[in-house]
Amino acid sequence: MLARFEEMGFDLSQFVPALLRPPSQTFRINTLKGSREQVLKSLSLLEPEPVGWNDLVFRIKDRQKLGNLLEHFLGLIYAQDASSTIPVTVLDPQPDEEILDMAAAPGSKATQIAAAMANTGLLVANDVSPKRIPSLTANLDRSGVLNTVVTRLPGQAYGHIAAERFDRVLIDAPCSSEGTLSRSFRALEIWSKSAIKRLSATQRNLIMSAYYSLKPGGVMVYSTCTFAPEENEGTVSHLLDKFPDAIVEPTDLEGLNSQPGFSEWRGEEFNPAVKNILRLFPHEHDGEGFCVARISKPN
Amino acid sequence: MRSKDLETQLIERALSSLEERFGIDPDYFRSYHLFTRRNDVWCCTHQAGEVELPRIVRRGLRIARVFEHSVRPTTNAVQLFGHLVKRNRVDLDERETKRFLAGQTQDIHLPEVEGGECVTGVTDGFVVAFNMDFALGVGLLKGNKLKSQVPRSRRVIG
Ligand SMILES: C[S@@+](CC[C@H](N)C(=O)[O-])C[C@H]1O[C@@H](n2cnc3c(N)ncnc32)[C@H](O)[C@@H]1O
């Protein structure tokens, strides 16, 4: 893993300590349960600082057991890493739309989407894993979500069963999770070159299925919490090879220190449009490692 | 599968009981899709109620369980619709709130009782517990004893 990070151009003496250091704790205000003002007043002792790119996401200085707070019990806040709030910020869900969250458990982003939709329209929160569905439904419940249908299907199915149905789709893909090492070493247990290969094959199927399920004029976001170019630029390039008219849109979020997508990896040149992918690295940005691409389907 | 009539009856019973006991206007729910599963009433948006997909695990939120002689709204529902509650609400202080969140039964201080009746109209049965403006969940009141109905999975201990 370290050799690959070096190959990606990182100075390991800076990158590795940052990767292992827990980022600041952050929470997102759930506007389905209370107003921003109400929650900020109630949590003023924590001295929340806005992150900048999303006015419902805040950092706190001192570490807290957020799960023990009354505000958490009430579903007024959702403890969520700063980077993890970016895919939905970039997706920009709107009220009354039909949206698919293709790999939704445990629901950090599904609850964020439902709140952005103001509990209107339809959100399909899907996950293939029967073991992870209970955490998804529990988070939807605590967040007061009424617009959501939970399904348990391989995301690959959506391209067939719901072709051109959704206004927006999120694929927060299963990945090698290299960006989450500060939270847990689980990624190390599953990490291998063959795992990256296997995951990238799944991701290619998921991104294609998502694109099929998108209405013309629709928007999708592909995200992972890993650095591996095969799982990020490689997956998006694959979609662009099959659908050259898909557009990878530039994203510009206020106060976010991000990098563009890699142009090549181990001799493979990616489609030039992947430079519009947003890359987040822990030595430059206070949050987990993440990668986010906003892709639109022409009318 | 239950007949539409039975389902409508169960929903109407739930709504009229929520109105009678808590003053919740049933019209509030008319803009949503309501349906039943066994003795539970569920609520979701119309789009979520109508969409057909394979392997649906659930739609929306469970809002109430209908018993033979009473209807108990769920913790999740009162946290969402608490602002509509006009009757049978009890206000808890910090200490009482902690015990309530932990799922305990406790003696609570109710406002002055005049001639055997609580002045705020709180009567034995299901009540909605509040802390400040926030609805915490449902409790079962008998005299001054409040038994928290917060489900095990939602309890906060410590
Ligand atoms: C990164 S996690 C999703 C996190 C979630 N979006 C959130 O924000 O809480 C990836 C998820 O993909 C699911 N998954 C793996 N393979 C899948 C497939 N083929 N179709 C749908 N979901 C899949 C896993 O069960 C896992 O829950």
Predicted confidence (pLDDT) per residue in A109-122, tens digit: 999 999 999 999 99
Average pLDDT, integer, range A254-265: 94
Amino acid identity at B86: K
Q: Give the chain A residue nearest B130 (alpha carbons).
A: A74
pLDDT exceeds cutoff 60 at B114: no
Q: What pLDDT, on the 0 to 100 scale, is given for residue B112?
A: 63
**B41–chain A Cβ distance below 8 A for any pair:** no
Task: Considering only residues B74 and B1, tell me which one the structure prediction assigns the higher pLDDT.
Answer: B74
Measure A122 CA to nearest chain B CA, in Å: 5
Mark whether A41 and A10 lie in a shared domain: no
Indicate which atom in ligand 1 lies nearest the CA of residue A131.
25
pLDDT exceeds cutoff 90 at A252: no
A208-239: pLDDT as tens digits: 999 999 999 999 999 999 999 999 999 999 99
CB A40 within 8 Å of CB A74: no
Note whether residue A19 is domain-resident.
Answer: no
Mark whether A185 and A127 lie in a shared domain: yes
Amino acid identity at B125: G
Note whether residue A168 is domain-resident.
Answer: yes
Contact B53 A122 (CB under 8 A): no
Give the SS3 label for residue A16: helix
Cα of A175 from ligand 1 centre, angstroms: 9
Mark whether A258 and A288 lie in a shared domain: yes
Q: What pLDDT, on the 0 to 100 scale, is given for residue B120?
A: 65
Residue ending a domain, choose from A53, A80, A107:
A80
Note whether residue A241 is domain-resident.
Answer: yes
CB A216 within 8 Å of CB A299: yes
Note whether residue A60 is domain-resident.
Answer: yes
User: With contacts defined as CB-CB under 8 Å, which chain B residues touch A101?
Assistant: none
d(CA A104, CA A151): 10
Mark whether A106 and A54 lie in a shared domain: no
**pLDDT classification of B118: cutoffs 50, 70, 90:** low
Q: Which range marks the domain in which residue A10 is found?
A: 2-14+82-296
Mark whether A58 and A183 lie in a shared domain: no
- Closest partner residue to B53 (CB to CB) among A33, A148, A161 is A161
A9-42: pLDDT as tens digits: 999 999 999 999 999 999 999 999 999 999 999 9
**B158–chain A Cβ distance below 8 A for any pair:** yes
CB A277 within 8 Å of CB A291: yes
Mark whether A187 and A214 lie in a shared domain: yes
Fold of B88-154: 2.30.130
Q: What pLDDT, on the 0 to 100 scale, is given for residue A190?
A: 84
CB A146 within 8 Å of CB B32: yes
Burial class of A31 by CB neighbour count within 10 A (0 to 12, 13 to 18, 19+): middle
* A203-206 own/partner pairs: CB under 8 Å, 24+ apart: A203/A171, A203/A173, A203/A174, A203/A175, A203/A231, A203/A235, A204/A235, A204/A238, A204/A239, A205/A155, A205/A156, A206/A102, A206/A103, A206/A155, A206/A156, A206/A171, A206/A173
Residue ending a domain, choose from A80, A105, A125:
A80
**B154–chain A Cβ distance below 8 A for any pair:** yes
pLDDT exceeds cutoff 90 at A183: no
ipTM over 0.90: yes
Fold of B4-83: Nuclear Transport Factor 2; Chain: A, (3.10.450)
Mark whether A262 and A159 lie in a shared domain: yes
User: With contacts defined as CB-CB under 8 Å, which chain A residues touch B97?
Assistant: 70
Ligand 1: residues within 6 Å at CB?
Answer: A 102-109, 127-129, 132, 154-156, 172, 174, 202
pTM of the predicted model as reported, rounded to 2 decimal places: 0.96
d(CA B115, CA B104): 29
Mark whether A128 and A253 lie in a shared domain: yes
Active site residues of A: 225
- Find the CATH number of the domain harbouring A176: 3.40.50.150
Neighbours of A120 (CB within 10 A): 17
Q: Tell which one of A102, A143, A156, A172 to mutate to probe ligand 1, the residue whose CB is within 8 A of the most ligand atoms.
A: A172
- Closest partner residue to B32 (CB to CB) among A72, A146, A161 is A146
Mark whether A145 and A266 lie in a shared domain: yes
Query: Which residues 111-130 on chain B approach chain A with CB closer than 8 angstroms?
Result: none
- Closest partner residue to B79 (CB to CB) among A124, A144, A150 is A144
Residue ending a domain, choose from A80, A108, A125:
A80
Q: What pLDDT, on the 0 to 100 scale, is given for residue A188?
A: 83
Pairing mode of beta strands A247-249, A290-296: antiparallel
Contact B153 A162 (CB under 8 A): no
d(CA A140, CA B76): 10
User: With contacts defined as CB-CB under 8 Å, which chain A residues touch B57?
Assistant: 133, 137, 150-152
d(CA A97, CA A218): 11
For chain A, what is the domain count? 2
Measure A121 CA to nearest chain B CA, in Å: 6
Mark whether A52 and A106 lie in a shared domain: no
Mark whether A177 and A221 lie in a shared domain: yes
Q: What pLDDT, on the 0 to 100 scale, is given for residue B116?
A: 55
Q: Where are the domains of chain B?
A: 4-83, 88-154
Measure A292 CA to nearest chain B CA, in Å: 28
CB B85 within 8 Å of CB B24: yes
Mark whether A272 and A166 lie in a shared domain: yes
The enclosing H or E element of B139 equals strand B134-142
